[in-house]
Amino acid sequence: MIRVDSIEALREVRHQWRMEDQKVGFVPTMGNLHNGHLSLLDKARERANKTICSIYVNPLQFDRPDDLANYPRTLEKDLAKLEEIGADMVFCPTDEHIYPRGMEHATTVDVPGITNVLDGAHRPGHFIGVATVVCKLFNMVQPELAVFGEKDFQQLLVVKRMTADLNLPVEIVGAPTARESHGLAMSSRNNNLSTEERAHGAWIFKTLQAGAKQLLKGERDFQSIEKTQIDTLKAQGFDPDYYSIRRNFDLEVAREDDETEDLIILVAAQCGKARLIDNLHLASYS
């Protein structure tokens, strides 16, 4: 596995691969890798000749300084995992590479509309940080395709829209959410949970399943379903930001005449020291 830290070194290898007509699949991460991240690399490997993973904790997408300071950084362990699964390259840029004039002077990317709801409403500026760093990484890595996990579904839609709007020549591939055995969605933030909290976090997926069952039975009182499951989360000790039934193609609030397979339920809730997010597509649930 090749490790590069500079854009120049990245482009040198990338140029050689292009000369060899190698198709590159890219997985951008903030490190602290778990099996969910590794499954994204597997998906990239299925569709490309070479795989690149980036590890960069992006300050611009954090809305709280303490959250950025506490984000787990495990570079050496991450490199060992990537080596073991056979990643071809890992790109580990610094803040100076990503924001050479500093974040306060950086050109940013804003994807309007879709970033103003759900996590966008609760984390001001978050998706500007996401869209900006992903756009920059795409320009640096120049992959043919990039893989993103569906756990961060709003992020996936933001990246898809940004890529289309800016005419970037990158195919965006979504990968199913990887889960613990009890249903909790895998996340780097799960490291902030105690053993008991990690097991208790499975309640988030249970509320998604409960809401999905009602919708599949034909229930269309969306607000009642949302309130019931928010109350369930509160009763279980969570502090929910939202539990929302939306259309899966634009994140608009669900309407009574929407097809069931076009609906998705999204949730975000605080559990101990960790803010957990998850979602469930009705089309993939039975």
The amino acid occupying position 121 is A
Residues 149 and 49 in one domain: yes
Provide the number of structural domains found in the chain.
2
Residues 224 and 151 in one domain: no
- Position 168 in a domain: yes
Q: How confident is the model at residue 284 (pLDDT cuts 50, 70, 90)?
A: confident
H helix runs in the chain, sequence order = 7-19, 35-47, 65-70, 75-85, 95-98, 119-122, 126-141, 153-165, 195-200, 202-216, 222-235
Q: Each residue of 79-113: pLDDT tens digit?
A: 999 999 999 999 999 999 999 999 999 999 999 99
pTM of the model: 0.96
> Residue 220: which CATH number?
3.30.1300.10
Report how far residue 173's alpha carbon sits from residue 154's, in angstroms, rounded to the nearest whole number: 14
- Position 194 in a domain: yes
- Position 286 in a domain: no
Report how far residue 214's alpha carbon sits from residue 46's, in angstroms, rounded to the nearest whole number: 36
> Residue 133: which CATH number?
3.40.50.620
Residues 206 and 168 in one domain: no
Residues 156 and 16 in one domain: yes
Which residue segment(s) compose the domain that 8 sits in?
Answer: 2-175
Which of 175, 202, 217 is where one domain is finished?
175
Q: Each residue of 121-170: pLDDT tens digit?
A: 999 999 999 999 999 999 999 999 999 999 999 999 999 999 999 999 99
Tell me which residues are annotated as active site.
Answer: 37
- Position 193 in a domain: yes
Residues 144 and 258 in one domain: no
Q: How far is CA 24 from CA 20, 88, 145, 171, in A?
A: 11, 10, 7, 11
